[in-house]
Amino acid sequence: MTREIKESWFIDQAIDEKSKSKMNDILKLRNFVLKNNEFIENKNEFILNLNKWKISFREDRSFSSIEVFYEIFKENEHYQVEEFRNNNKTIIDLGANEGYFLLKTKEYNPESRVICVEPNPFNFKNLEKNVSINNLKHVDLLNAAVDEKSGKMMLDIIEQIGNIGSHDIKSIDRKWMKDEFIKKIQVETISLDDIVLKFNIEKIDLLKIDVQGYEYEIIQHGKEKIKNSLVIQLETSPIPLYKNEKTSSEVINQLEKLGFSSHMFNKVNTKPFKPMKINNSIYQGLHHLFQLDCVMINNFQDIDSFNKEDLTKLILIMFYSFKSYDFVDYLIRILDKKFNLNLIEQYRKLNSSFKIVKKY
């Protein structure tokens, strides 16, 4: 149902005593849910001041919401190069959840345009609130699932756990999952082509895909719009977790045929090969791969031919979103050489202060 987290980190994110106290309550709720495998019946809503943001929560879902917040913001320390700061980008977030990736993006690139697509209505309600209470601009929201065509579909969700949902949620063997947890709902669907038309998007700079095993189909039916994107970030599984899900290698191969190259894994989740405790924890894995958050770059072999705008956008994306500092160094040298600039010296002066965490 959940992952291992560092509870003290959450308390550190709260910037006032009221938020710290309420965060403690959320952590207690999380422990209660894990221990008893049951949810509470309390749909009260509240707002916490976490780091630079106001975050909307619903009481019975809060234990799940903080896990997604943790995944997006943990170890998210960035550095500013003013020449790149306000370069506008167009980002599409498929599977936007409650908007934490959006908040992370807006922290350093407030002028970027972000289109958030989220099918779960309970996630979407909090997504709308997080955009409103933080006065975010240049954001478009769409409560729909991405499919090969626009229409309707049935979706399985667990109302209290926002990061679980699929066409057939029981296709994954989750021992803790009770039938009464599952809700079947009808949601609107929209194709990627129709998203591009609806929001008048000329080019996608960063496409994030987190759609619970439906990545292959979205790419297959949207490849004409995807093939000109600068960067794609998507969650895949080496061994399928969902019904009819394609493996990581199949999805990566699909994008390679469109001209993308694998650059990095932004996240590598492992799990024990069979149930066991490691370091007295049931959540830690050793080497068995569970999920991979892949980052793919378009036309890697032809980066020298990129224009100034695309080079600058790629630098911004790789620096702020993925901390790919060595690749950014390479890109800045290309930018300097092509356009007679001298940004590399300023960039390298920052190197001594970079907090670099090797992920794998």
Instruction: Read off the pLDDT band of 258 (50, 70, 90).
Output: very high
Give residue 89's pLDDT. 87
Residue range 121-132: mean pLDDT, rounded: 96
Full set of structural domains in the chain with CATH: 1-77 (no CATH), 86-303 (3.40.50.150)
Instruction: Read off the pLDDT band of 353 (50, 70, 90).
Output: confident
What does each C-alpha distance from 259 to 226, 295, 328 come to in angstroms? Answer: 10, 13, 20
pLDDT value at 87 more than 50:
yes
Complete edge-to-edge strand list for the sheet that includes strand 139-142:
139-142, 113-117, 90-94, 206-209, 231-236, 289-298, 260-270
Task: Give the angle 159-162-166 at the CA atoms, nearest 5°.
Answer: 85
pLDDT value at 85 more than 70:
no
Share the mean pLDDT of the chain: 87
pLDDT value at 220 more than 80:
yes
Give residue 156's pLDDT. 86
Please report how many Cα atoms fall inside a 13 Å half-sphere around the Cα of residue 175, on the Cβ side.
2
Give residue 58's pLDDT. 96
Residue 356 Ramachandran class (φ > 0 left, ψ -120 to 50 alpha, else beta):
beta
pLDDT over 70 for what percent of the chain? 90
Higher-pLDDT residue of 191, 269: 191
pLDDT value at 118 more than 90:
yes
Higher-pLDDT residue of 318, 356: 318
Give residue 78's pLDDT. 46
Is 149 strand, coil or helix? coil
Higher-pLDDT residue of 208, 163: 208
Give residue 132's pLDDT. 98
pLDDT one-digit tens code per residue, 170-184:
556 666 767 778 788
Give residue 255's pLDDT. 96
Residue range 61-68: mean pLDDT, rounded: 94
Instruction: Read off the pLDDT band of 239 (50, 70, 90).
Output: confident
pLDDT value at 190 more than 60:
yes
Max Cα distance, the chain (Å): 64
Give residue 260's pLDDT. 96
Higher-pLDDT residue of 305, 82: 305
102 contacts 114 by C-beta, under 8 angstroms: yes
The pTM for the full model equals 0.90
Instruction: Read off the pLDDT band of 284 (50, 70, 90).
Output: low
Instruction: Read off the pLDDT band of 2 (50, 70, 90).
Output: low
